[in-house]
Structure 1
Amino acid sequence: MNRAADTRQAAEAATPSGQYSGHNRISTQALTSLAKAAAADALGIHAHDVRADWSDDGGLLALSLVAPIRIPSLTAVLRDPGRVPALGGSIWDRTVHAKTDILTKVTELSGASLSRVDIRISGAHVTEEGRVR
């Protein structure tokens, strides 16, 4: 056998199921863009409205987000109180649920190990959904 074949066989034997050895890295910018998109989806806003910061939490990544949340107008809620539960409940309930969604989505798509997601709601994007008068 030639030297290249020996090297290839050694690499295949050293890694499970023929995977290649080496490093894969996801840049901080890519992780931040992913986190912003996941938060925007969970909170019903645009990704450019989300601020994301990363920190070390005992070897895992901790994600801190600052973002507004989408809410219906008060007149819309007065006309139809069922809109609040339809959106997922109170702002508090929706934020708690969003944490889980964001952590799961970022972990699944990036492979990064997140310890937690902290969200600070910075405002409200009021939407007037319904008929135009």
Structure 2
Amino acid sequence: MSGAAGAAHAAALAGHTRISTQALTSVAKAAAAEALGVPPHEVRAEWSDDDGLLALSLVAPITVPPLTTVVRDAGRVAGLGGTIWDRAVAAKADILHRVTELSGARMSRVDIRIGGASMSEGGRVR
């Protein structure tokens, strides 16, 4: 760029743009809720510094079918994406990707602690 166009471009970039911790937390909770099949208000999120990158720690329940449904149809577990362990591991990658995509934050990792089970209604997971 040259002359006036270069000066106008530089002026448009002047200043700071920051995303608050509250906004990042809201994005993280929404991404985790979607990945785990629970409402966002049931997800707890904390951020920490990991050598200059953001590390996200989550505590949330996970949606599971009623045990009587699993006894009648063991394939129901596979239809959900596998065991609770398998789903939590897959959710970590999904959450990291989604939060990075939406916020532009530089993240190192996502840690998940499953803090309970939320039964799905009527045999269908939310």
Partner of 2:20 in structure 1? Answer: 27
Q: Provide the aligned length of Structure 1 versus Structure 2.
A: 122
Pairing 1:10–2:7 present: yes
| Greater RCO, 1 or 2 (C-alpha within 8 Å, sep 6+) | 2
1:66-116 residue CA offsets vs partner (Å, 9 max, x unmatched):
000000011011111111000000000000000000000000000000000
Report the residue type matching 2:7 in the other structure. Answer: A
Contiguous gaps of at least 5 residues in structure 1? 1-5
Report the residue type matching 1:73 in the other structure. Answer: P
C-alpha RMSD of matched pairs (Å): 2.0
Identity across matched positions, percent: 67
Question: For the structure 1 residues 77 and 100, does the alpha-carbon distance in structure 2 shift closer, same or farther, using more than 3 Å as the test?
Answer: same
Local SS of the residue matching 2:23:
helix
Partner of 1:85 in structure 2? Answer: 78
Partner of 2:106 in structure 1? Answer: 113
What TM-score do you get using the length of structure 1 for normalisation? Answer: 0.84
Pairing 1:94–2:91 present: no
Question: For the structure 1 residues 130 and 63, does the alpha-carbon distance in structure 2 shift closer, same or farther, using more than 3 Å as the test?
Answer: closer
Partner of 1:72 in structure 2? Answer: 65
Match of 1:56 among 38, 49, 54: 49
Deviating above 3 A after TM superposition, structure 1's stretches of 4 or more consecutive aligned residues are 6-9
Following the alignment from structure 1 to structure 2, what is the Cα–Cα distance between the partners of residues 130 and 92?
20
